[in-house]
Amino acid sequence: MAFEPPRRLVRALGEAAPDGDGWLAKLPEVAERAVARRELAVERVQVPGGRSSLVVLVRTGDGTPAVLKLAPRRARPESERAALAHWGGLGAVQLREGGGARERDEGVLLLERLRPDVSVRSLPEAKALLEAAGTLRRLWVEPPGSHRFETVAERTGRQAAAMRAGAVADDEVAPLVDAALAAREELLAAPPEQRLLHGTFRQSKVLAGDRMPWLAVGPDPVVGEGAFDLARLVRDRVEDLVAQPSGASTTRRRVKRLAESLEVDQERLRGWALFRAVESGVRARRVGRERDAELLLEFASWL
């Protein structure tokens, strides 16, 4: 079959690497080779799919449903593989193949099939937050010894440099950027116990499964404190929060409720929620997603 990348993926990769790196052009060939090597039967490409990978619904030689995921190097697929292997299916989707060179291609993951169209986001908000938080708790484990995962300090250091550059050219966001960068410095000065984190956790990254009711997918793993992971969940359904008159107070209650449910310091969660919202808002503005930027920066102003 033709492995046509969904428009959402093409658009997102264009924003991340506007000059391109040739990955999309090579994608059909890579996909065909990955399918043939594993003797898979292809059902369909998942649409709209993700923003950093091509997801193909397949069946293995014995008819077992599975997912073939293909991602460019900048999406760190080998880091995802290492994290999924370390979690071993506890709270996260399982790998369906080993790590030997004959069993894998770089940037290709064969995964357990979940229910791709049913995420925690489909639940009422209170229930969704409860289930998402419970899934996240299972992922926070000790990182493997001598790990090579990026740390929160390293990742946010790169992001901070881009935020400073964005603030220079935009007086409107400069105060929020200053507040976010100050929060980061304070948070990194005395970090608590370090854990392996999902890295991009949100409601849409928790899918229904058969082995367990809910399992996380699509990590961009990082090692750091749990509040960093939980901070992204704080702003889930941000468009709904901004649309309601009580959005600011609802956000503050959400911070308190999530911090208490996962035994995370409330002020540290607020600080990382501020940093991550401002970083995402500045990045959205930089690539022309002005509506997203407005929502994220307004949300950040409430923290």
Q: Residue 106 pLDDT more than 80?
A: no
Strand partners, 54: 70
- In this structure, which topology does domain 119-301 adopt according to CATH? Aminoglycoside 3'-phosphotransferase; Chain: A, domain 2 (3.90.1200)
Q: How confident is the model at residue 102 (pLDDT cuts 50, 70, 90)?
A: very low
Q: Could you read off the pLDDT of 140-158 as tens digits, one per residue?
A: 999 998 889 999 999 999 9
Q: Could you read off the pLDDT of 40-98 as tens digits, one per residue?
A: 999 999 887 778 899 999 999 999 999 999 999 888 999 999 999 999 999 999 999 86
∠ Cα 191 299 152 (to 5°):
25
Strand partners, 223: 151, 196
Strand partners, 65: 59
- In this structure, which topology does domain 7-113 adopt according to CATH? Phosphorylase Kinase; domain 1 (3.30.200)
Distance CA 122, CA 286 (A): 30
Q: Residue 21 pLDDT more than 80?
A: no
Residue span(s) of the chain under CATH 3.30.200 come to: 7-113
Distance CA 302, CA 292 (A): 16
Distance CA 114, CA 67 (A): 8
In a 3-state reduction of DSSP, which class is residue 152? helix
